[in-house]
């Protein structure tokens, strides 16, 4: 079963492992040593964490399968929309439908409010197709990103095969 729990200080080691899992491919072929890559990723991770901590209204949850942390989801809500800031899973848990369960769960949660869910994805990122399958539509391109939006009025909330606890 997939569940969410608020991220805390005790999750820092896991969150860094997740960050490395997501970003390692970007550093492959850079010519940097393992030590240099690790140091740079640590600095980027700490900067990212500080940025999220300083943004008001950001909800940061750890995604768990059973008792095992497998990812995170960050959202932010304003009067006009819910922003899907980030969904990340460690590599062994990608491609298993967990991301779909998370986004569909968010859609079901947000639908009664009438607010859209918005996100940004890098152009040409395979995640763009993932979001399109879940009913997100592009609404603005600002290189290197594409802004996408899901509207509860679109009627596209795919049934989740698993529910969030």
- CA–CA separation, 32 and 35 (whole Å): 8
Domain boundaries, the chain: 2-154
> Which residues, in sequence order, are CB contacts of 85 under 8 Å at separation 6+?
52, 58, 74, 75, 76, 119
Sheet of strand 82-89, all strands in order from the earlier edge strand to the far edge: 2-6, 58-65, 68-77, 82-89, 117-122, 145-150, 137-142
| CB-neighbour burial class of residue 148 (10 A; exposed 0-12, middle 13-18, buried 19+) | buried
- CA–CA separation, 149 and 34 (whole Å): 38
| CB-neighbour burial class of residue 9 (10 A; exposed 0-12, middle 13-18, buried 19+) | exposed
Q: Which CATH architecture has domain 2-154?
A: 3-Layer(aba) Sandwich (3.40)
Instruction: Indicate the DSSP class of residue 73.
Output: E
pLDDT in tens, 121-145: 999 888 999 999 999 999 999 999 9
pLDDT in tens, 29-53: 788 888 899 999 999 999 999 998 8
Reply yes or no on whether the pLDDT at 27 is more than 90. no
Reply yes or no on whether the pLDDT at 165 is more than 60. no
Q: What pLDDT shows up at residue 125?
A: 87
Q: What pLDDT shows up at residue 155?
A: 61
Q: Which of 90, 99, 91, 95 is nearest to 119 (CA)?
A: 99
């Amino acid at each position: 079963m997939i569940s969410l729990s608020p991220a805390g200080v005790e999750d820092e080691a896991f969150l860094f492992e997740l960050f490395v899992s997501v970003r390692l491919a970007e550093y492959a072929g850079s010519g940097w040593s393992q030590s240099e890559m690790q140091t740079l990723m640590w600095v980027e991770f700490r900067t990212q964490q500080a940025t999220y901590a300083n943004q008001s209204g950001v909800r940061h949850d750890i995604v768990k399968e059973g008792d095992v942390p497998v990812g995170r989801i960050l959202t932010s809500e304003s009067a006009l929309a819910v922003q899907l800031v980030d969904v990340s899973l460690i590599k062994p848990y990608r491609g298993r439908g967990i991301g779909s369960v998370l986004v569909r769960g968010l859609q079901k949660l947000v639908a009664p409010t009438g607010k859209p869910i918005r996100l940004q994805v890098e152009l040409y990122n395979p995640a763009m197709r993932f979001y399109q399958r879940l009913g997100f539509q592009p609404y603005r391109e600002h290189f290197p990103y594409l802004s996408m939006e899901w509207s509860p009025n679109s009627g596209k909330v795919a049934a989740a095969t698993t529910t969030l606890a």
